Amino acid sequence: MSREPARARTAAPVAAVETRVARVPLRQVTSFATRQVSARDYVLVTVTDADGVQGRGFCYAGASGGEVVSAAVAALLGPVVAGRDPFGVERIWQDMYQEALLHGRTGSAMRALSALDIALWDHNARALGLPLHRLLGGFRAETVPAYASGGYYLDGKTPDDLGEELASYVAAGFRAVKMKVGRLSPAEEEERVAAARRAVGDGVLLMLDANNAWSDLPTALRTMDRLARYDPYWIEEPFGPDDIDNHARLAAAIRVPVATGEIEAGRWRHKELLERGAAAVLQTDAAVCGGITEFRRIAATAASFGVPLAPHWFHDLHAHLVAATPNCTFTEFFADDSVLNFRTLVDTQLAVRDGRLVLPAGPGLGFGFDADAVERHTVPGTPATVTA
């Protein structure tokens, strides 16, 4: 007896795309190797289909200038998404990329594209009643590995204070921690790293993040010669992102793995890092590189080179991607909102168990935007809505 093939249910099209900027001050001015930050701009995107199902996306837009990214959503890319079948993610991504081609294949345009792509994936998982990590493939089922990120420069913070901070993460169960380097002289940085290693012990992985601190190879080599004796797991972003040559030269000259890629966009640039031996670990950020859609392509490319990913920032998002991607090794986790103050804008925080992040069981990303917090921090004049 023959049967008629089942007909796929038509998805409700995207009826509206909303964007706004939330500017969240830091509780204390915080320093990196080359800059200070007193506030952060986050672009928040919501897509709503004709049945009322919503998806949420977001990106970090810097210490200022979130209006530029939000304008790219409202004026450039939101109209590409409105009226479309939200499950046609690959087609929508390609159309957004083509629309943004002349405005920038990195930076604000790609961050706007990333936020919209994340919102579509979140919508689709919610529409199906699945956690995002399940929809993406579910390689890991309950928890994902994580490292505790901190060790920033603060006025009056001593090496012993730094050690106490990192030791507190170990006490909370984390077996990997990260700290900043590169702002001070090689001797001063050695004092900080030595204090950190004493505090966490020999059995804990210690990552070092230079945030583009060095502009020449001799300075990087001189500093790493002092720091290598403390067994760092990696040195992150030693040079500016465009200085791929020096990344490759440093990687060839030292035994400490080089990690980079957190502000890179597109699979082609990541492929260049891999082909030139400039990164032993990619730190691809789905809210920067082109969204979840492009993150998956980059991860597959890296897997062909035998290179792992340890995605940058936004543990609420990247826990799902680490769970779904076999060659993802760590989620970067921030224990409070002193640095990653995006935490103040969401209504649910990830749970931690034995130094690992517990994957959400609810649909989509597993959190929503906290309406009161978002309203409190919204930059006047930025909310905008595109309708089909």
Q: What is the pLDDT of residues 190-211, one digit of tens each?
A: 999 999 999 999 999 999 999 9
pLDDT digits (tens), the chain, 388 positions? 445 444 445 689 999 999 999 999 999 998 888 888 999 999 999 999 999 999 999 999 999 999 999 999 999 999 999 999 999 999 999 999 999 999 989 999 999 999 999 999 999 999 999 999 999 999 998 999 999 999 999 999 999 999 999 999 999 999 999 999 999 999 999 999 999 999 999 999 999 999 999 999 999 999 999 999 999 999 999 999 999 999 999 999 999 999 999 999 999 999 999 999 999 999 999 999 999 999 999 999 999 999 999 999 999 999 999 999 999 999 999 999 999 999 999 999 999 999 999 999 999 999 999 999 999 999 999 999 999 9
365 located within any domain = no
Residue-range definition of the domain harbouring residue 23? 14-129+371-387
Exactly one of 123, 133, 180, 318 is catalytic; name it. 180
Find the CATH number of the domain harbouring 377. 3.30.390.10
**Secondary structure, 3-state, the chain:** CCCCCCCCCCCCCEEEEEEEEEEEEEEEEEECCCCEEEEEEEEEEEEEECCCCEEEEEEEEECCCHHHHHHHHHHHHHHHHCCCCCCCHHHHHHHHHHHCCCCCCCHHHHHHHHHHHHHHHHHHHHHHCCEHHHHCCCCCCCEEEEEEECCCECCCCCHHHHHHHHHHHHHCCCCEEEEECCCCCHHHHHHHHHHHHHHHCCCCEEEEECCCCCCCHHHHHHHHHHHHHHCEEEEECCCCCCCHHHHHHHHHHCCCCEEECCCCCCHHHHHHHHHCCCCCEECCCHHHHCHHHHHHHHHHHHHHCCCCECCCCCHHHHHHHHHHCCCECCEEECCCCCCCHHHHHECCCCCEECCEEECCCCCECCCCECHHHHHHHECCCCCEEEEC
The 10s digit of each residue's pLDDT in 297-352 is 999 999 999 999 999 999 999 999 999 999 999 999 999 999 999 999 999 999 99
7 located within any domain = no
Are 244 and 382 contained in the same domain? Answer: no
Catalytic-residue membership of 312? yes
Exactly one of 247, 312, 315, 320 is catalytic; name it. 312
267 located within any domain = yes
1 located within any domain = no
Are 108 and 222 contained in the same domain? Answer: no
pTM confidence score: 0.96
Are 240 and 311 contained in the same domain? Answer: yes
Catalytic-residue membership of 180? yes
